[in-house]
């Protein structure tokens, strides 16, 4: 089963320039003339900072369509949101954290991986050993190896 590593949140503003023009994934467009105001990533990634934690993905059960959440990705997980079918959630199953999509089939909730190589989990067969710890709101995936892991402090829980 995949594991989730909880990370410490730093709440100082992170101001970056925002390009107001959407970037086409095809025809090049000059973006220099379209720079907008600075934005604070904390306001986007952590709208409920007292109820949000960051976690790193370990494993590949969600590395498939539609989420494509890869091993090593960093996630913002909001505990104030009520989990809804279709949400990707961090759940504790038999005392271990896992990352799965929450689905409702009839009256039963399932934890479903996006990677077809992994099996879904029927939560009705788990008894008291299933609990949702939060809804994933954002995922950061590193495109150049090395920097994301270097700049986060970890804390095992």
What is the set of active-site residues? Answer: 61, 100
d(CA 137, CA 89): 9
Q: Name the percent of the chain in helix, strand, coil, to the closest 5.
A: 10, 40, 50
Edge to edge, what strands does the sheet with 88-93 contain? 3-7, 52-58, 74-78, 130-140, 88-93, 96-105, 108-112, 121-122
Neighbours of 119 (CB within 10 A): 10
Q: Distances from the Cα of 115 to the Cαs of 12, 57, 65, 87, 102, in angstroms? A: 35, 14, 7, 15, 14
């Amino acid at each position: 089963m995949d594991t989730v590593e909880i990370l410490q949140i730093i709440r100082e503003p992170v101001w970056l320039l925002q390009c107001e023009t959407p970037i086409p994934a095809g025809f090049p467009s000059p973006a220099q003339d379209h720079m907008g105001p600075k934005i604070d990533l904390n306001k986007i990634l952590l709208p409920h900072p007292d109820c949000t934690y960051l976690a790193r993905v370990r494993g590949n059960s969600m590395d498939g369509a539609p989420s494509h959440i890869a091993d090593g990705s960093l996630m913002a997980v909001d505990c104030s949101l009520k989990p809804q079918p279709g949400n990707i959630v961090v759940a504790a199953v038999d005392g271990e954290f896992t990352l799965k999509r929450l689905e409702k089939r009839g009256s039963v909730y399932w934890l479903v991986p996006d990677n077809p190589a992994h099996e879904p989990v029927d939560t009705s067969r788990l008894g008291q050993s299933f609990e949702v710890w939060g809804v994933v709101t954002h995922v950061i995936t590193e495109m150049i190896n090395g920097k994301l892991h270097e700049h986060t402090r970890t804390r095992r829980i």
